[in-house]
A and B are shown apart, each in its own frame.
Chain A
Amino acid sequence: MSIEDKVRKRAYTWTNWHMANIDEIIEDDEKFAFKLKTCHSGGRIRKWPNHGRTKEAHPWAWGQKGVCYYCSHCSVVLETMGIEKAGYPAWIAEQQPDGGCIQYLYKDPEKIPEKYYKRLGLQKKKKSG
């Protein structure tokens, strides 16, 4: 699938499945950034005064303490399992204050910065040849 079609399908899941507006989709040379002022999934939970969150820093919670248990599906499924299955994260999630989130879809997965592998306790594999 082309990167453009991935962007269209990823947008569709927000707009037609979660049925939420996306605040902005920005393109630069390397990637598309989906900006959500409040993520309609875990972002809402993060705004609840009481909700489950990691008591320790785990690789499957971006190496951070205090990650909402619900939100850890992003790091476990779309990043860690994405790397296991395809060699790179499906997209990168960067949590923002007040329930916001930015998701990055890289045009070339090779350009995904190494730090996004490291925060999961993984190493980015160098392309052979």
Chain B
Amino acid sequence: MDKRELKELTVSIYDKLIRAIKEGDKEKAGALVDEIKRNKYDFDNSYREWIDMMLTYVADRLGEEALYEIHRMNAERALWPRFGWVFGPMSVEDKVRKRAYAWTNWHGINIDEIVEDDEKFSIKYKCPSGGTVRMWPHHGKTRKAYPWSWGEKGISYYCLHCPIVYDIMAIEKHGHQPWITLQHPEGHCELQIYKDPEKIPEKYYRRVGLKKKKKSG
């Protein structure tokens, strides 16, 4: 093969994009951005398929209870280092900004809507993470209702990281959830960030088998 072609074949799509921008080729840059979007989704999906398959394999052989342990281990290793900021000293507005950023600039999707009311912010979106998995005709889902599946049967094994990490572990560590996850049909989800964690309704503690502690004094 021609050596110049072999050299060109080594260039990443990001570097091709930077080159197109520097050359002022807007059409090519736009096409590369579209390709990055498509390929990132497919790339992430390939890992979601792998994770779903492994979680299903584990549940089938070790029992679904093993999933609770795996998600907790993953939380300590991968999720809290990336999302621990949510319990740091920060205004609720900055929390909303950072949480939105995680969807738009890390997952790389558009959020459908962010709605504010007196008590909370609601972030509404089609979840590219577990929402994608929930739309597959075949995927692992809980055969029983567990506290760590929001007390519901049929929760995707992949989605369990939300109740286990952001509900149960967060309450253990900080006394409240950073946000409340509400699953909606067709892979949609809503995250509710309460302005005052004290205002988080008791039902969101009960669904994970926990009690909301009353503020002393």
Interface centre among A4, A7, A11, A16 (most CB of B within 10 A): A16
A19-B11 CB under 8 A given contacts A4-B1, A27-B1: no
CA–CA, A15 and B36, complex, Å = 11
Check B6 against A27 for contact (C-beta < 8 Å).
yes
| Main DSSP-derived SS at the A contact region | mixed
Q: Answer whether residue A85 sits at the interface, using C-beta atoms and an 8 A cutoff.
A: no
Give chain B's interface residue range (CB within 8 Å of chain A).
10 to 19
A22 CB within 8 Å of chain B: yes
Q: Interface residue tally of chain A, by bracket? A: 20 to 34
Residues of B within 8 A of A (CB): 1, 6-7, 9-16, 35-36, 39-40, 42-43
Which of B1, B6, B11, B43 touches A15 (beta carbons < 8 Å)?
A: B11
Q: Which residue of A lies closest to B6 (CB)?
A: A25
Which of A8, A19, A24, A26 gathers most chain B CB within 10 Å? A19
CA gap between A12 and B42 in the complex, in Å: 14
Interface residues of A in 52-80 (CB under 8 A from B): none
Taken together as a complex, chains A and B put the C-alpha atoms of A23 and B7 apart, in Å, by 9
A22 vs B42: C-alpha distance when bound (angstroms)? 20
Chain A residues near B9: list those with CB within 8 A: 7-8, 11-12, 15, 22, 25
